[in-house]
């Protein structure tokens, strides 16, 4: 996911406190193969239609999905980010890294994996 704070986020501001809460789930996201980054790039926010700040956006194979829940509830955010309904992109084969594949294999009894060279990614 990408956390967009909308300009400078100084220590003690709401966006800084929210980011501190979200850092508590960073290890769990790493285990699921989800990389967490933050940006203050307003041009990037505008490109993806983000008008309110702070906002959490989850890019699934480059498709943005904006989180609508409580950003201060780290357990709710973690649950949403790791929920199968959030991770799945209807009508598309998902590209995963090693950690995400391990997570998928643990949670599902039947998985088809297409292994290919880097240049053949399914975009």
For 40-55, the pLDDT digits (tens) are 888 989 998 898 888 9
Q: Is 4 left (phi over 0), alpha (psi -120 to 50) or beta?
A: beta
Domain that holds residue 103: 2-120
Specify the DSSP class assigned to residue 109. S
Bridge pairing between strands 55-60 and 37-39: unpaired
CATH code, domain with 30: 3.40.30.10
What does the alpha-carbon distance between residue 112 and residue 30 come to, in Å, rounded to a whole number?
23
Q: With 0.75 as the threshold, say if the pTM is over it.
A: no
For a pLDDT cut of 90, what percent of the chain falls above it? 24
For 19-30, the pLDDT digits (tens) are 888 999 999 998
Check: CB of residue 97 under 8 Å from CB of residue 103.
Answer: no
Tally of structural domains, the chain: 1
Mean pLDDT score across all residues of the chain: 84
């Amino acid at each position: 996911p990408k956390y967009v704070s909308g300009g400078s986020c100084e220590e003690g501001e709401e966006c800084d406190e929210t980011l501190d809460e979200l850092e508590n789930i960073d290890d769990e996201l790493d285990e699921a193969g989800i990389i967490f980054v933050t940006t203050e790039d307003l041009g990037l926010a505008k490109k993806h239609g983000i008008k309110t700040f702070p906002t959490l956006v989850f890019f699934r194979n480059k498709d943005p999905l904006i989180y609508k829940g409580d950003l201060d509830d780290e357990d709710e955010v973690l649950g949403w980010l790791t929920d199968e309904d959030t991770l799945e992109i209807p009508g598309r084969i998902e590209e995963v890294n090693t950690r995400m594949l391990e997570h998928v294999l643990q949670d599902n009894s039947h998985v088809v994996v297409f292994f290919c060279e880097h240049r053949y990614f399914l975009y």
